[in-house]
Amino acid sequence: MEEVEEEEEEEEAEEEDEDEEEEEEEENEEEDEEEDEEEEDEEEEEEEEEEEEEEEEEDEEEEEDEEVEVEKGRATFQKAAAVAACTGIDDLGYVYVRAAINDKSGDESGE
């Protein structure tokens, strides 16, 4: 009788140990999953931040390009106004178009 009781106690102890091990494994798995999710969230946040920075840089570059084009237009207009004043041509639009064409072709003669 005592042997049977001892065997039952041993089996119960083994089952309890197994249950504890399973619980620990489940807890470890849950912790691992949580860590993985946190890492994924961090990576997503970093990617979003990088994308936002890239977009901001692109926007800044576009603004700078637009400013350069505006300055080129102003310079061309100033050249046209100077040529019109020097030559006595009343049609500033014509002189402006010619100046713009000359700027595009690299001709600095102003004619």
**pLDDT digit string (tens) for 37-76?**
999 999 999 999 999 999 999 999 999 999 999 998 888 8
**Model confidence over 9-41: pLDDT tens digits?**
888 888 888 989 999 999 999 999 999 999 999
Plot region of 96 (φ>0 → left; ψ -120 to 50 → alpha; else → beta): alpha
Q: Which residues contact 108 (CB under 8 A, 6 or more apart)?
A: 102
Mean pLDDT, rounded, of the chain: 85
Question: Hey, where are the domains in the chain?
Answer: 1-105
| End-to-end CA separation in angstroms for the chain | 122
- For 101, the 3-state DSSP assignment is helix
Position with higher pLDDT, 3 vs 65: 65
The tokens describing 7, both together, are 């065997």
